[in-house]
Structure 1
């Protein structure tokens, strides 16, 4: 069975790397013959520091589906077309926005020096902070501040883009047209109804909609409509996640 995991708020928490206990549970999945894929809003550059190097050969989906990473390299990326990008940049200027804009590896940043998002940006010092015009391929845009988020969101929503409003941060997370976690899984050859998904936020909805089984970590109102099970973020919740992985692993080993 294929297991697909979001990272932040699902198997790693508060910007910290995946715990050793959960890593051991993921390793046990592969020992039992299952496959693990990581699928995150983070670009690959920011996924690697929270995933132990022993797991860096696993397949990874980054940038909400705009990047696919296999065996140590980016093998697929989907960037904004110039027409959409120019319009987004014009709207950012119109609404006095600040941003984190990602290329395949490097990034441009104009947000506040104390913005919480900076905790997760290039923690491994793998990339370079550059000017926006130096990014040749732009795969993801986070709008961090604006003088009117609601109007900006409305105008962006008129475009054919994939936009997430993350529940834990007041940011707009924008991906190119047709790009989301399920589109990346399809690009990897994954079939509908052939995998188990773990997630926690609205950017996991497409992944949940097409899964065989789904487990929501914490509570997100929109995502909850597509979750078969949920685990509350309270008490020793990591142990509950590990127990759920063991149960699902055993079950889907038996029904192969």
Structure 2
């Protein structure tokens, strides 16, 4: 069976590390013949550093589906130049702060204490201006008003709100984690997640697990605490045949 895992708030709770008990459960899952796939809002650039070594070259979905990596080969989806101009005009009009992810580098104008900024792999990527990036895969806007969200919803984009971070994630229309999995030819899976960007996983999974009390839990088969993650992975490993 394929097991798909979100990272932040699902396996990683400090933005930097995954607890050794969870790593051991993932290794046991993989050793038992199950495929372990990671699907995160983080671009591949920021996803790889937090993963255990044996999974860095595996199947990865980053940027909520904007990036796909397998055997260290990364492919990406981009906003069209016309759409990017519309987005840039909105940013300028409302003086919004943002994080824009290019193929590897990024453009950031927000507060450097924000958790999203803290998770950027600064050692391997550079902070450019938005116009210097040219190709942009994903855009995070900080503190957008409802009026701005309404204006953005009229454009051909997918919008994911992050209430706890007072931000929205914008990607090309139709791009999400399930899209990324389909590009990796993953259609049957068990999913672990915790936030609104995992709703699509929960809706498509044979069985789904929500970590924590986010509103997205209503779409999951099971709700657990972060302390229960490792044992739940092992439990589902042992029961996985019923979901095949």
- Is the pair's TM-score, using the shorter chain for normalization, greater than 0.5? yes
Matches within 5 A, 1:1-256: 1-74=1-74, 76-123=75-122, 125-146=123-144, 149-191=145-187, 194-221=188-215, 223-233=216-226, 237=227, 240-252=228-240
More displaced stretch, 26-35 vs 11-20: 11-20
Q: Does the CA contact (< 8 Å) of 2:161 and 2:169 recur in 1?
A: yes
In structure 2, relative to structure 1, the CA distance for the partners of 1:25 and 1:150 (3 Å cut) is: same
TM-score using structure 1 length:
0.91
Pair 1:255–1:97, CA change in 2 (3 A): closer
**SS of 1:163 mapped into structure 2:** strand
**1:67-115 C-alpha deviation (Å, 9 max, x unpaired):** 00111220x2111111211111111111110111000100011112333
Q: Secondary structure at the match of 1:162?
A: strand
Q: Is the 8 A contact 1:111 1:145 kept in 2?
A: no
Aligned-partner Cα distance in 2 for 1:113–1:252 = 42
Residue-by-residue CA offset, 1:200-250 (whole Å, 9 max, x unaligned): 0110111111110000000221x22310001034xxx1xx11111111111
Would you say the 8 A contact 1:11–1:22 is kept in 2?
Answer: yes
State how far apart, in whole Å, the 2-side matches of 1:89 and 1:226 are: 34
Counterpart secondary structure, 2:165: coil
Residue 178 of structure 1, CA deviation: 0.9
Q: Distance in 1 between matches of 2:236 and 2:111?
A: 43
Do the aligned partners of residues 129 and 10 (structure 1) sit closer, same or farther apart at CA in structure 2, a change above 3 Å counting?
Answer: same
Distance across 1 between alignment mates of 2:159 and 2:46: 20
Deviation at 1:50, TM superposition (A): 1.0
* Superposed displacement of residue 36, structure 1: 0.4
TM-score by length of 2: 0.95
Inter-partner Cα distance in structure 1 for 2:9 and 2:126: 26
Alpha-carbon distance in 1 for matches of 2:28, 2:93: 51
Given that 1:100 and 1:141 are in contact with CA atoms closer than 8 Å, whether structure 2 keeps it comes out as: yes
1:253, CA displacement in angstroms? 5.1
In the TM superposition, structure 1's runs of 4+ consecutive aligned residues that sit over 6 Å from their partners are none
Question: For the residues of structure 2 that align with 1:254 and 1:141, how far apart are their CA atoms?
Answer: 39
Conserved 8 A contact 1:80-1:177: no
Aligned-pair CA distance for 1:172: 1.2
Contact 1:164 1:172 in 2 (8 A): yes
How big is the alpha-carbon RMSD for the aligned residues of Structure 1 and Structure 2? 1.6
Decide whether the 8 Å contact of 1:32 with 1:253 is kept in 2.
no
State the aligned residue count: 244
Between the aligned partners of 1:248 and 1:116, the Cα distance in structure 2 is 31
